[in-house]
Amino acid sequence: MTNATEIKPSSAQSARPEWTSHMGFILASLGSAVGLGNIWRFPYVMGKYGGGAFLLVYMVLMCAICIIPLLCELFMGQKYKKAVVGAYESVDKRLKSLGWLNVFTVILISGFYFAVGGWIIHYVLIYFTGAIPHGTDYAQYFNNFAARPVLPLLYAFLFLAVSAIFPYRGVNSGVEKANKIMMPAFLIMLLFLVIISQTLPGAKDGLEFIFKPDFSKFNAEMFLIAFGQALFSLSVGMGAMMTYGSYLNKDTSLVDNSYIIIFGETLIAISAGLMIFPAVFTYGLNPGEGPGLVFVTLPEVFEQLPFCGNLIAVLFFVLLLFAALTSSIAMLETSIAAFRESLNMSRQKATLAVCAIVVVLLIPCTLSFGLLKNIQVFGKTFFDLFDFTSSTVLLPVNSCLLCLIVGWLVKPSDDIVKGNKVLYFIFNILLKYIVPALLLFSILCGLNIIKL
């Protein structure tokens, strides 16, 4: 009856979990960062925008600019020990709605991410059971499959259910354990496939495509694409890293860990290119296929591999599945932790509530390729609309506000850069002015208000 009972945290909340080891945190954060963005999107975007030149811009942006919102998220999480809504609320009560905007963004992104997750499960199964005959027209196969009314939806639900098991079980016995198993397995499979790919005759062309810089492609558009890709790939701008940061103990160095995440993330993205392009060039396929690269071009590669094509295909799609799952777990955990803390729900109830919302979003997204193909909002199908709103608009909006709030309101001490005065000065300039200005610029370009 008293207020005290309302304010008192529930027993589930009073024992806030922490990562059991530093490795657990690194693997989970890398798991969140490494996903479809690295394996499916990075290689073809890099190919399209000048190979090595793109890579150079990407790495500079990652190390000098994108590290700032990443650091801010980890910092807010570690400082306030709350998920995204609670953390913003701790800065100022009025910022609570910004926390919810972050949750909204991550739920929106789940809508299309989980649809693709469903496709991946389908491809694992058809290769595993040998259900896809040689000589298939893979483009047609993919389009027909994605356009079916029920099957892709069932797979998307299955992907959601598998992802949800881990946050349902808790941070240590669910989220951390899943990453500790899936990430090493992912890395071993990736290394194996990179090595196999280098033995193919097209390896040299593949390497050239990736690493030979085409400086004529150096322009503002390429810069923006690299920036957007880097932010998406780091999983910032939606409170995911804040949530993972909130399970860190107070002594963990944030700068060191941010660089470990950035380094690992970039290395894995490059490895994905090293795995895919030598094979694509060997069989004279189109490296600029775009989004169809993984589901259309690679099946053609698998068919032509001289031996064990099916086995390699299963390995590749399982690898992709693990990459997607470790990201989808982070997405769910972000919303679940916020629901749990801010709506006072048990972890189990919060998981069910979040899943119910994701199911509702999954339906229009998944059906965007078939039944609802002709329904467009602002000239976009639901799938594209969700992608655009979350990745191109809300992600930079949230990141920009995050930097401004941390820079002007929270004002971290120079502990954040281990007391180094010069670094602290640079950090503040980036945090308060440069990074928010760049983010604002990318938002305006994304909305077509500034035309390049």
Q: Please provide residue 386's backbone torsions phi and psi, each rounded to the nearest 5 degrees.
A: -65, -40
The answer to whether 335 contacts ligand TRP (rule: CB under 6 A) is no
Query: Min. distance of Cβ 6 from ligand TRP in angstroms?
Result: 31
Residues 6+ apart with CB under 8 A from 74: 241, 242, 244, 245, 248, 254, 257, 258
By C-alpha distance, which of 110, 124, 113, 43 is closest to 320?
A: 124
Contact 381, 373 (CB under 8 A): yes
Contact 320, 276 (CB under 8 A): no
Distances from the Cα of 129 to the Cα of 125, 148, 185, 313, angstroms: 6, 20, 22, 12
Distances from the Cα of 405 to the Cα of 76, 180, 231, 315, 358, angstroms: 10, 33, 18, 44, 29
By C-alpha distance, which of 294, 258, 253, 303 is closest to 276?
A: 294
Element (H, E) at 57: helix 52-61
**Binds ligand TRP by CB under 6 A, chosen from 76, 109, 313, 401:** 109
Whose Cβ is closer to ligand TRP: residue 235's or residue 258's? Answer: 235
Distance CA 448, CA 445 (A): 5
Query: Min. distance of Cβ 448 from ligand TRP in angstroms?
Result: 22
Whose Cβ is closer to ligand TRP: residue 132's or residue 241's? Answer: 241
Amino acid letter, 429: I
Count of residues binding ligand TRP (CB under 6 A)? Answer: 16
Query: Min. distance of Cβ 5 from ligand TRP in angstroms?
Result: 34
The answer to whether 262 contacts ligand TRP (rule: CB under 6 A) is no
CB count within 10 Å of CB 6 equals: 8
Amino acid letter, 133: P
Query: Min. distance of Cβ 235 from ligand TRP in angstroms?
Result: 4
Amino acid letter, 8: K
- Which span (80-88, 324-332, 342-350, 381-389) binds ligand TRP, by CB under 6 A? 324-332
Whose Cβ is closer to ligand TRP: residue 99's or residue 370's? Answer: 99
Distance CA 396, CA 435 (A): 10
Distance CA 319, CA 166 (A): 18
Query: Min. distance of Cβ 36 from ligand TRP in angstroms?
Result: 4
Whose Cβ is closer to ligand TRP: residue 233's or residue 392's? Answer: 233
- Which span (125-133, 326-334, 381-389, 430-438) binds ligand TRP, by CB under 6 A? 326-334
**Binds ligand TRP by CB under 6 A, chosen from 29, 197, 233, 389:** 233
Query: Min. distance of Cβ 2 from ligand TRP in angstroms?
Result: 38
Query: Min. distance of Cβ 420 from ligand TRP in angstroms?
Result: 29
Contact 320, 310 (CB under 8 A): no
Query: Min. distance of Cβ 31 from ligand TRP in angstroms?
Result: 9
**Binds ligand TRP by CB under 6 A, chosen from 78, 102, 197, 235:** 235
Q: Per CB under 6 A, which of residues 26..45 are in contact with ligand TRP?
A: 32-33, 35-38
The answer to whether 232 contacts ligand TRP (rule: CB under 6 A) is yes
The answer to whether 331 contacts ligand TRP (rule: CB under 6 A) is yes
The answer to whether 106 contacts ligand TRP (rule: CB under 6 A) is yes
The answer to whether 327 contacts ligand TRP (rule: CB under 6 A) is yes
Whose Cβ is closer to ligand TRP: residue 403's or residue 417's? Answer: 403
Residue 194, judged by CB atoms within 10 A of its CB (0-12, 13-18, 19+), counts as middle
Whose Cβ is closer to ligand TRP: residue 70's or residue 193's? Answer: 70
The answer to whether 238 contacts ligand TRP (rule: CB under 6 A) is yes
Q: Residues in the site for ligand TRP, rule: CB under 6 A?
A: 32-33, 35-38, 106, 109, 232-233, 235, 238, 240, 327, 330-331
